[in-house]
Amino acid sequence: MYAFEHTVNDPVGIHARPAGQLAKEATKFQSKVMLCKGDKRAELRRMMAVMGLGVKQGDTIRIEVEGADEDAAGAAIRAFVEANL
């Protein structure tokens, strides 16, 4: 499993646009990608589920990637998260 944590810096948090972009990024890979906030989890491919977590600026999120291409998927999603959130 590939996993990392990130503190959200975006003043609006994870709203529709970044949630959609994250979902699009996750669909490029076979691996299952989960976004976790506290004890809540959402599959990254499901934009509405990601938005339902209510991630705000200053929240720490954890991304967990598991599957055949987890290293490539994790690296790509980590790069996206660090550049955009």
CA nearest 73: which of 83, 82, 62, 63?
63
| Catalytic residue status for 6 | no
Q: What are phi and psi of 27, to 5 degrees?
A: -70, -10
Q: Name the catalytic one among 5, 9, 12, 15.
A: 15
What gap in Å lies between CA 70 and CA 85, rounded to an integer? 21
Q: How many CA atoms lie within 13 A of 7 on its CB side?
A: 1
Which residues are part of the catalytic machinery?
A: 15
